[in-house]
Amino acid sequence: MKAIEVKKDIYWVGAIDWKLRNFHGYLTQRGSTYNAYLIVDEKITLIDTVKGYLTKELIERIADIIDPKKIDYVVSNHVEMDHSGAMPEVMEMLPNATVITSVAGEKEHRLHFKKDWKFQTVKSGDTLNIGKRNLHFVMTPMVHWPDNMVTYCPEEKILFSNDAFGQHIASSERFDDEYPVETILEEAKKYYANIVLPYSSQVVGVMQIVRSLDLDIICPSHGIVWRKNIPLILESYEKWGSNKTDKKAVIVYDSMWNSTEMIAKMVKEAFEEKKYNY
């Protein structure tokens, strides 16, 4: 398994789930990825892991760049199993590594795994120096779990956004200039509607913070990495988060003997008469 360079000394080392067809109860016909990222600096840092049954893929990609045992920090932006399922096996290889996570993240790790790993909790505004680079942490609770946070590297202008801006797409292409952007946006919209929508009020606040960052790349935890169409996904999240709706009507009907269909057509004609889109 080969790692993919995101920027110099920063690599995608995640796993591709080609067979995934259901995620939290909604159809994922294009599969998905579980994205993890490796930063090679004075302190070698792994950002997030993958689902447990794909741990081998993660470790092989890390080993394509360095000896995995050299990792100093594991940043856990979110404890849900699609991001932390590989933690037990990874941490067994790294007895001296420190897990960087939120206060809620430490609690959830301990509940899930019953392990006494070395934890360092962070809050919004905290910074971790790893050599030439610094990692800044921003808490994003309930986007979409209480423990969620994002990690920003100002020197590289990269946001490791965890679930935010993600999509369920399994692909050997990693970047939004290598894959049809219409499809990426379609899947990002589906992900937002099914996973993030109930927490839109929190999204609005998070977007204000994201807008204040200088961004070249957004690295989500699922799907394609954003580097060309960042304004598009930011504008889309602002629209979805504000609950703005298109001025359209949807006519839904089910008809056994065509009677309900006739009524639906009458409704359609009424919309047409008023020049409403449907």
Active site residue 78: yes
Selected catalytic residue, list 34, 37, 191, 199: 191
**Taking Cα atoms as reference points, which of 164, 162, 150, 234 lies closest to residue 197?**
164
Q: What share of the chain is helix, strand, coil (3-state, %, to 5)?
A: 35, 25, 45
Q: How far is CA 56 from CA 49, 52, 53, 168, in A?
A: 11, 9, 8, 21
Q: Which token pair is 109? A: 């790790």
Spatial separation of the C-alpha atoms in residues 108 and 47, rounded to whole Å: 17
Is 254 an annotated catalytic residue?
no
Residues 6 or more apart from 228 whose CB is under 8 A from it?
Answer: 175, 176, 177, 181
Distance separating alpha carbons of residues 27 and 128, to the nearest angstrom: 38
The candidate with the shortest Cα–Cα distance to 73, out of 17, 18, 119, 113, is: 119
Catalytic: 191?
Answer: yes
Other C-beta atoms closer than 10 Å to the C-beta of 6 total 23
Distance separating alpha carbons of residues 77 and 84, to the nearest angstrom: 9
As to burial, measured by CB atoms within 10 angstroms (0-12 exposed, 13-18 middle, 19+ buried), residue 63 is: middle
Catalytic residue among 17, 48, 147, 163: 163
β-pair type (127-129, 15-17): unpaired
Choosing from 144, 152, 156, 237, the catalytic residue is 144
The active-site residue out of 17, 82, 108, 147 is 82
- Return all residues near 45 (Cβ < 8 A) that are at least 6 apart: 38, 39, 71, 72, 73, 74, 75, 130, 135
Q: Which of 48, 57, 78, 176 is catalytic?
A: 78
Active-site residue identified among 17, 48, 80, 106: 80
24 is catalytic: yes
Q: Cite the active site residues.
A: 24, 78, 80, 82, 144, 163, 191, 222
